[in-house]
Amino acid sequence: KAKSTDNLRAPVICVLGHVDTGKTKMLDTIRRTNVQDNEAGGITQQIGATQVPVEAIKERCKQVKDFKPDELKIPGFLIIDTPGHESFANLRVRGQSLCDFAILVVDIMHGLEAQTIESLKLLLKGGSPFVIALNKIDRLYNYTSNPRKDIYEHLKSQPQNTQLEFKERYEKIVAEFAEQGVNVVLSNKNTNPDEYMSIVPTSAMLGDGVGNLMGHIAQTTQTVYANKLAFVDELDATVMEVRTIPGLGTTIDVILVNGRLRVNDIVVLTGSDGPIMTQIRELLMPAPLKEIRVKNEYLHYKEIKGAQGVKILAKNLEKALAGLPLFVANTLDEAEYLKEESKAQLSKALHSIKKKSEGVYVQASTLGSLEALLEFLNTQKIPYSNVNIGPVHKKDVQKAAAMLEHKAEFACILAFDVKIEREAQLFADREGVKIFQADIIYHLEDNFLKYREELKE
């Protein structure tokens, strides 16, 4: 199919990094860009994402040196709202990131921290391009803020000791990245983007450097990754979340990266009990803040074009699984084919995971979070003998119980961000299968390691 780099879609961007580095603040600041004139050109809240239009990017990048607003070709950014490690795992579809570009936030006062390094590893493994926001520069001694200046010009105007502190902290962080095998350099000094990742100093709190950050992302995505951003009609959509909304029933939140979705489209997606085929009844996006009234929380659309985030209303979504693609079927034959395809994709993904003959049973809400959890178990040398996604059913407990005869310490289920059916729990209690349930990977790991220690004593 003909691809044109003249017709680019918005790059999908996500924010990640260690807790408290300022990910949420950064999102808020980027979102606030044009709050004063939230009419045309305003930033719009979408399902699980924020649409930042090109006008807002231009406005914020006015002061950035060498930035050429007239050469902007992307229609804006689509920034995924859920930052943090766990949700980033959910953004991975079959080991691939849904994001076109990531912002890795590092606190200049703290340098690289545990989750920074994990995020970095995920990015490198997936080959995802990213920029580093060296955040909280306002905490440098004697720093004075000016969000309306190019950050590099502005840093030069700081007192000598402030510049010196910046330099020292920056160099320390460059060395920490080097320890991870990653070369980094300030974005205005980066003449070799193939070898060096760019760093932009920012204050998410005060807005300093955020223009440089946005300018860097805009220019890099539309030049280096223009091919990937060429809008095509071929559908590329991922189910991000399955949610029950009072009055609407079970809905799915979908990030539509490419192509179009229309009301009445027949869609095929993966469910915990096999493929689901259903018809789109409504395509919803949140109403702009000032328009929200009771019962009118959402705006209805007939058609949506990527890249955008949307809530889909349809029948039979109760068993839908997040983290997997959504397809549109144009004919019944195609629907049958896509059902097979969706079934095959899931079982292929689950089968391709290397398991040990003896080990724990692992269950997670999405394929992405399952993969992330397994990576952690590997580093902790905790073997797993079986995996599944979706709620824990009695049949999962039955499979986990097989370990009772081999190695009783492994007769357990590590359940990550999933429900446990009552019947499954009762059966587990009766059989002596332990179920650990948590929403945070570390907690699961801790609980299991503690339990294993207890067994040894």
CB of 159 to ligand GDP, least distance (A): 18
Q: Which is nearer to ligand GDP, 51 or 119 (CB)?
A: 119
Measured from the Cβ of residue 35, the count of other Cβ atoms closer than 10 Å reads 11
Q: Which is nearer to Mg ion, 141 or 442 (CB)?
A: 442
Longest pairwise C-alpha distance within the chain: 71
Q: Which amino acid is at 431?
A: E
CB of 139 to ligand GDP, least distance (A): 5
Indicate the residue whose CB is closest to ligand GDP: 22
Tell me if residue 162 falls in helix, strand or coil. helix
Site string for ligand GDP, 81-100 (x = CB under 6 A): --x-----------------
DSSP code of 8? B
| Cα–Cα distance measured from residue 427 to residue 421, given in angstroms and rounded to the nearest whole number | 10
Q: Does 211 bind ligand GDP (CB under 6 A)?
A: no
Q: Which does 22 bind (CB under 5 to 8 A by kind): ligand GDP, Mg ion, none?
A: ligand GDP
CB of 372 to Mg ion, least distance (A): 18
Q: Which does 425 bind (CB under 5 to 8 A by kind): Mg ion, ligand GDP, none?
A: none
Q: Does 9 bind ligand GDP (CB under 6 A)?
A: no
CB of 120 to ligand GDP, least distance (A): 15
CB of 346 to ligand GDP, least distance (A): 32
Q: Cβ(325)–Cβ(237) under 8 Å?
A: yes
Nearest to 304 by CA among 78, 86, 127: 78
Q: Which is nearer to Mg ion, 9 or 25 (CB)?
A: 25
Q: Which is nearer to ligand GDP, 33 or 388 (CB)?
A: 33
For every residue of 260-303, DSSP letters joined together read EEETT-EEEEEETTEEEEEE--EEEEEPPGGG--TT--EEEESE
Q: Which is nearer to ligand GDP, 23 or 149 (CB)?
A: 23
Q: Cβ(57)–Cβ(149) under 8 Å?
A: no
Q: Which is nearer to ligand GDP, 5 or 162 (CB)?
A: 162
Q: Does 299 bind ligand GDP (CB under 6 A)?
A: no
Taking CB under 6 A as the criterion, the residue among 8, 9, 10, 22 binding ligand GDP is 22
Tokens of 75: 């229609």
Residue listed under structure tokens 């049949």: 395
Tell me if residue 406 falls in helix, strand or coil. coil
Angle at 55 between CA 54 and CA 56, to 5 degrees: 90
Q: Which does 259 bind (CB under 5 to 8 A by kind): ligand GDP, Mg ion, none?
A: none
132 contact partners, CB below 8 Å, separation of at least 6: 103, 104, 105, 106, 177, 184, 197, 198, 199, 200
Taking CB under 6 A as the criterion, the residue among 9, 14, 23, 329 binding ligand GDP is 23
CB of 24 to Mg ion, least distance (A): 3
* Window 64 to 83, contacts with ligand GDP (CB under 6 A): 83
| Prior bond of 307 cis (ω within 30°) | yes
CB of 430 to ligand GDP, least distance (A): 41
Indicate the residue whose CB is closest to Mg ion: 24
Q: Cβ(200)–Cβ(134) under 8 Å?
A: yes
Q: Does 113 bind ligand GDP (CB under 6 A)?
A: no
Q: Which does 449 bind (CB under 5 to 8 A by kind): ligand GDP, Mg ion, none?
A: none
List 18, 85, 154, 216, catalytic entry: 85
Q: Which is nearer to ligand GDP, 23 or 154 (CB)?
A: 23
Q: Which does 272 bind (CB under 5 to 8 A by kind): Mg ion, ligand GDP, none?
A: none
Site string for ligand GDP, 187-206 (x = CB under 6 A): ----------------xxx-
Q: Is 110 a catalytic residue?
A: no
162 contact partners, CB below 8 Å, separation of at least 6: 140, 141, 142, 143
From residue 314, alpha-carbon distances to 121, 276, 310 in Å are: 37, 11, 13
Measured from the Cβ of residue 221, the count of other Cβ atoms closer than 10 Å reads 23
Taking CB under 6 A as the criterion, the residue among 8, 11, 14, 21 binding ligand GDP is 21
Tokens of 374: 């397994």
Q: Which residues in this chain contact Mg ion in the complex, by CB under 5 A?
A: 23-24
What are the catalytic residues? 85
Residues of this chain that bind ligand GDP (CB under 6 A): 19-25, 83, 135-136, 138-139, 203-205
